Amino acid sequence: MTLKEIRDAIGKAVDRLNTTEIVNDAAAYEALEAEIAGMEAQLVRAVKAQERSAKLARPVDPREPGAGIEGDVTDADARTLSSLVSEARAMSIREARPVRFDDCISIARRGLNSTIDRSKAFRNVGEQLQAVFQHYASKGTSTDSRLVRAPTGAGEVDATGGGFLVQTDFQAAIFMLAHDLGSVLPLVNKIPISANANGLKIPGVDESSRATGSRWGGISTKWAAEGIAGDESKPKYRLVEFDLRKLISKMTITDELLQDSTALTAIAGQAFSEEIMFVTEDAIVEGTGSGQPLGFMNSQALITVAKEAGQAPGTIVKENIDKMWARCWARSRKNAVWLYNQDIEPQLNSLNGAVGTGGQLVYLPPGGVANAPNSTLYGRPMIATEYSAALGTPGDLVLVDLSQYTIVDKGGTQFATSMHVAFDTDEMRFRITYRVDGRPMWHQPITPFKGNLTKSPFVAIGQR
């Protein structure tokens, strides 16, 4: 079960706990409380199991010079951000609500082990946006001393072209909320790079076949009699290059909203987080690789399974599913998930396989035969996404191991704002920039040791 699925299951259990029927039945109440406690323990274990991913996604290093928040932090007293995220999620589950932007701000500040000094730091992002507005509205005659100027645009490190930097804890909150909201981002491999780097080069094994003499790009291994030397060989490598792309999110805010810092904080934080999450995840799926990350759907590593002979347009049949599973690289199956467009669900619900004169269920919907908390195919979770293609086109249903997809961002925290102001009917425009690139770590499918059908962590169905 994913973290989201565990949280959903706990939320539903809490709702049942609050019913009159359960409250009036002491035994049922105690049994359900024990069930909830067990799921909360499972949630903690799941978070710990993803600690590496959570750490890479963490946008704040409290020990990094120039973090932007007052307060000294040592290894002894700094709590890890991942543990704080786990605590916030557990709190939101108990209160039957999702993680909010304010929760993420609190997490970031506690991760920095700092308290807010109102003379040096803003209380919330709405308050900072109001200060920026006041600066431009007064033409620079009234500037809050807490505002920090961004670079002027002369160098590459300036992702904004001037304006003011978003306070570090607000940057952290935006990224954390984007990570929590997404269904794809938590599954990919994430690598943060330093503030002075523009990209990353990773040596990858150039392996296209598992045949003897081709594994690891050319390692030769054979059984030999005593005293007989083996063949000389060496692995072959290729260079996987990442060049940071600039993702710009803009929002125009009305003069009325600028007057309410609380509402401005909630709306701006949620809006920027959702946009960054949405556009980044869409690029992971179908990015062109030109000015944006390369999505697995446009990668040479994608295997496209042809439709069945005589298959009707706009349909999915059991044979499609079977062949997709057969083409998924065996080592990727334990991590693979199905991403799909919700429009295909009627097709999935009608799938069945013949067994003698009867049949067997192929697709398990939530709460189905096994009372599963999530949809499954071949025992792997199904995730409905907005990024999946329309029914009948490649990408409407894909089987992917997203651990084989890597994204890099500038330290995991390369957020900045561009306060390029546009006064249109008492409105002000804000901009936030995210530097990121991504691509599959496979550059082509692989030929297995035995058999002729190539395998890959990325498999789709062809046009129908």
| SS3 assignment, position 316 | coil
Domain definitions of the chain by residue range? 299-407+442-461
- Name the pTM for this structure: 0.66
Of 151, 181, 166, 197, the closest CA to residue 408 belongs to 197
pLDDT, residue 101, reads 76
> What distances in angstroms separate CA 297 from CA 77, 86, 301, one per listed residue?
45, 33, 9
Chain centre distance of CA 387: 13
Cα–Cα distance for residue pair 256/264, rounded to 1 Å: 10
Instruction: Give the per-residue pLDDT at 457.
Output: 94
- pLDDT tens-digit readout, 112-124: 666 677 778 888 8
Q: Residue 161: what pLDDT?
A: 47
Strand 303-305, strand 458-461: pairing:
parallel
If we measure between CA atoms, which residue out of 237, 240, 211, 458 comes closest to residue 332?
A: 458
Q: Would you state the CATH architecture of domain 299-407+442-461?
A: 2-Layer Sandwich (3.30)
pLDDT in tens, 180-193: 677 898 889 887 77
Q: Is 149 exposed, middle or buried (0-12, 13-18, 19+ CB in 10 A)?
A: exposed
**pLDDT digits over 192-226, tens only?**
776 666 777 776 666 777 776 666 666 666 676 66
Instruction: Flag the least confident range among 78-92, 131-145, 276-290, 305-319.
Output: 78-92
C-beta of residue 216 within 8 angstroms of C-beta of residue 205 = yes
Which helix (DSSP H) or strand (DSSP E) does residue 461 occupy?
A: strand 458-461
Token pair of 95 as six digits? 């209160």
429-444 mean pLDDT: 84
**pLDDT tens digits for 56-86?**
433 333 333 333 333 333 333 333 444 555 5
